[in-house]
Amino acid sequence: QRNDWEAALRVIEKIENAGYEAVIVGGAVRDYLLQRKINDVDVATSALPNEVKKIFSHTIDVGIEHGTVVVLDEGSPIEVTTYRTEGTYTDYRRPDEVTFVRDLPKDLERRDFTINAMAFTKDGNIVDLYGGKEDLKNGIIRAVGDPNARFREDALRMLRAVRFAAQLGFTIEEKTMKAIQEDSDLIEFIARERIRMELSKIWVADYVFLGIEALVESNLASYLPGNFAKHLESWRHFRTKKPEVGWAYLCLLNRSDMEDLFEFYRYSNKEKSFAKKVIHAYDRLLERWDEYDYFSNDLNTLETAYDFAHWLGKKVPFSKEHIGKVKEHLPIQSMDDFALNGNLLIQWSGKRGGPWVKEALNKALHAVLTGQVKNDEEQLKEWFYNEFVNER
């Protein structure tokens, strides 16, 4: 990240040497001032996209109609965007038409929150026209300008406010919050993928519960499936680094509406199967896991199910470390290690294949996992004769 910042400063220097203005803007300035990990460093400039392209030897047009060119010359790729204002807004979504301008204040004015509307110049000065520094100090998310107007321009900003509250542990300023409450229904105009991206960031945020609280208080929760208000308390101890864990937990809290959640939030097949697997493991955990649960689930699934129980205040009589230990000590780790297969059974029995094969295999697997038989072909053969052949 340090490298990105340095690369951005070199990009700025070259643009300025060519006679234009350039600054670092947005999230990078915010995170720099907070001494937080910087995500990506964006540069804004008075130069037009074609002018930017002339200054550097390696650029990519990523969104040239929006004014963005990626500069590759300095090692880290740096997005350079021409100062712009946003034109007309239709449908409460961001406009696809933008107007390039030559001065920074106009560009800062279009930005969503005061803490995101600061610029960092090459001499290390902060351009702060909206009290962003003060709001950073006080931990406040405040819309730039009239909040209602800003949310009507782009309703996604309402959810971004909640997301930043969750990431930074900040409070949404009163008028900004009131405006979200008034305009919360406009979130329905926003593409599900965008909603999904913001929620994914909330799941992994440091102050996720603050985020869920803000989601409820802002009334956005009324338009987002998941019954956040009803299940608020169940989110209090939730904490993760993986978005899919959040998506699975949301399913656990809304088990009877899982299909609706899948649909609305556009779960991937991987997220769906993870959610189902973990919920199954969670149910089994409340009954008590046996060897087969340890064998048939991967460690991540088991540990996530364990976390679910923990977050929901269920008593589990062992530690999380215990899970990995039990799993390691299983006689076999996967079906590939199993010394038995259907063909051997058919050979040994002299009978034709049928449903009995699967049944016998399961029984043998259970016997191996519980240590009743060694995972060894000879011993399994003997076990098999005793169990299935001698009896008859």
Q: Which long-range contacts (CB under 8 A, 24 or more apart) does 101-110 make?
A: 102/46, 103/46, 104/21, 104/23, 104/44, 104/46, 105/129, 107/25, 107/44, 107/83, 108/25, 108/144, 109/85, 109/144, 109/145, 110/84, 110/85, 110/86
Residue 132 is a binding residue for ligand ATP (CB under 6 A): no
Q: What are phi and psi of 352, to 5 degrees?
A: -80, 155
CB 214 within 8 A of CB 172: yes
Stretch binding Mg ion (CB under 5 A), from 37-45, 49-57, 322-330, 355-363: 37-45
CB of 40 to ligand ATP, least distance (A): 6
CB of 140 to ligand ATP, least distance (A): 15
Within residues 152-191, the interface with ligand ATP by CB under 6 A covers: 154, 156-157
Residue choice 14, 27, 254, 316 for contact with ligand ATP (CB under 6 A)? 27
Residue 271 is a binding residue for ligand ATP (CB under 6 A): no
CB of 3 to Mg ion, least distance (A): 16
Residue 77 is a binding residue for Mg ion (CB under 5 A): no
Per the listing, tokens 């239709």 go with 90
CB 1 within 8 A of CB 37: yes
Is 160 marked within a binding site? yes
Q: What are phi and psi of 122, to 5 degrees?
A: -65, -20
Residue choice 6, 10, 18, 27 for contact with Mg ion (CB under 5 A)? 27
Is 42 marked within a binding site? yes
What would the DSSP string read from start to end of 343-373?
HHHHHHH-PPPSHHHHHHHHHHHHHHHTTSS
CB of 73 to ligand ATP, least distance (A): 22
Residue 111 is a binding residue for ligand ATP (CB under 6 A): yes
* Annotated binding residues: 27, 30, 40, 42, 111, 154, 157, 160, 163
Give me the residues that bind Mg ion (CB under 5 A), please.
27, 39-40
